[in-house]
Structure 1
Amino acid sequence: MSIGLRDAVTVITGAGSGIGRATAHAFARRGARVVVTDLDADRARTVAGELDGRGVAAPCDVTDLDALRAVRDLALDRFGRVDLVMNNVGILAVGPVEDIPLDAWQRVIDVNLLGVVRSNLVFLPVLLEQGSGHVINTASTAGLLPYGFDRLPYTATKHAVVGLSESLALYLRPRGIGVSCLCPAGVATNIVEQITFYGEPAAPQGPSFSVVDPDAVGELVADGVDEDRFLILTAPEAAEELRELGADVDQYLTRPRKGAA
């Protein structure tokens, strides 16, 4: 079912920096054309300009359905099709659970979860009509494992993105559309720009995963598309944690914890 990246038309949200930028480069190196979108239009233009003529930039706020429609229309007008959509935008509210206000929860849900929902409403009809394509949703190991109580709105939305992606895979794969869920652990990005802090810092308890470079993540994502793989991990050891969680949830939740993830 793999669409192959050579000459594929790809759309990446949040591609002005970090994982999105690295994935745009990885896709372009494999021959894809990339619609680089970001809330920061200047960053999007900069990244598109780095792609040796294979990129086009568009500003995009994933909380705005019309902005996503404009990105879709740009891709169709410029390239005549859309083959792959990567939903990559994420923000965090960090602090003790009792100190994070409702409006912070609403903002994180609006961006991290409903941003994917809006993208599906805009792009899935295009992919379904042509009977081919690929969707990548960026979640997190915090969406697989129960350690992120210091960033609970983010954790809740990333668990939701994992579940949404699993069900989408069951629905879309028989229709010729691949689905991947990227679950990064530590990645050296500028995501701190997207964090709002509340109250006194909490002390998370969870597995310690190594921090990897965004360029390595971009290559992992490109490999995952080429191999039509659902789960894409940046820390292979997270798979063992996931097996332990599935084997005995109560034991996993009550076992002694080491440092933060």
Structure 2
Amino acid sequence: MESLHNKVAIITGGSSGIGRATAHALAEHGARIVVADINAEGADTVAADITRTGGQAVGVRCDVAEESAFDDLKAFTLGHFGQVDVVMNNVGVLTSGRPDHLPVEEWQRIININLFSVVRSNAAFLPPLIEQGSGHIINTASFAGLFTYAYDRLPYAACKAAIVQISEGLRVYLHPQGIGVTVLCPGPVLTNISASMPPTFGPAVGIRGPGEQFALLDPEVVGEQVAEAVLNDTFMLYTHDQVRDVLVDRASDWNAFIARQTDKIAQNPGIFL
């Protein structure tokens, strides 16, 4: 996409963290923003902040777990701005628990929010984007979907790995039709994703990160990375370039890689890698 000027961008999970930062970044590049979030007050606040600084934005409540959420969001956006050009599927929730303690119902909850929200978004927005022959989709995945560094968040990691694969397939299908696809894979970023986590299922589990080489980033850094990815038609967007070394290491000898990860976690189950 050569320019974001007067384009209309929808961002789910837009009231905080990466979503909020991306809303501001896209607005600074001239896009008109729909800030969608289950927290209606937070969405309105972000939209008001953008408007106050000279941009155009509107907030709307959106619970991506609801079947009609994206059809309603599409109708709202078309009614307000008359078009849709960029869709960022950014909602993600975490859970914590050892694999033998996580109930099936919790798996279903996480998959419905993290994965099926993307499926529902595609059902609503792919047809109009394909019809107009232009646009861009951004799917937020995670380092957790690229390689394993913990065992206590399997539903989250499984969803994020699936989102990477969905995004690759969409890129192959949509790019010849004039539509860009970016999969955002964040490493450590200062967000409030843990605020909505339920208590740990079963015995306490130490929180682990992907590695000490990955510095904690401010969301504003990531928001600008996303804006540049849309403008440059970038598919894979890592927040930390060092992750390539980890992925090359795994691809070189997957058995040895997972053995090393297993040893690290067994030796230090409750610390950051």
Q: TM-score, normalised by structure 2?
A: 0.91
Superposed, 1:86-125 pairs within 5 Å as 86-125=88-127
> Could you tell me how far 1:5 is from its partner in structure 2?
1.4
Structure 1 residue identity aligned to 2:154? L
Superposed, 1:67-146 pairs within 5 Å as 67-146=69-148
What are structure 1's unaligned runs of at least 5 residues? none
| Equivalent position SS for 2:27 | helix
1:176 aligned residue (157, 175, 178): 178
What are structure 2's unaligned runs of at least 5 residues? 266-270
Contact 1:25 1:218 in 2 (8 A): yes
CA distance in 1, matches of 2:116, 2:209: 28
Contact 1:182 1:233 in 2 (8 A): yes
Contact 1:148 1:155 in 2 (8 A): no
> Could you tell me how far 1:76 is from its partner in structure 2?
1.1
Structure 1 residue identity aligned to 2:272? A
2:153 aligned residue (141, 151, 156): 151
The aligned residue for residue 250 of structure 1 is 255
Give per-residue Cα distances to partners, 1:11-64, cap 9 Å, x unaligned. Answer: 000001111000000000110000000001101100110112410111101112
Which shifted more, 203-212 or 92-101? 203-212
Are residue 8 (structure 1) and residue 7 (structure 2) matched? yes
Give per-residue Cα distances to partners, 1:165-185, cap 9 Å, x unaligned. Answer: 111111111111100000001
CA distance in 1, matches of 2:24, 2:126: 24
The aligned residue for residue 198 of structure 1 is 201
CA distance in 1, matches of 2:82, 2:2: 16
Number of equivalences: 260
Contact 1:48 1:55 in 2 (8 A): yes
Are residue 40 (structure 1) and residue 48 (structure 2) matched? no
2:241 aligned residue (236, 241, 249): 236
Structure 2 residue identity aligned to 1:39? I
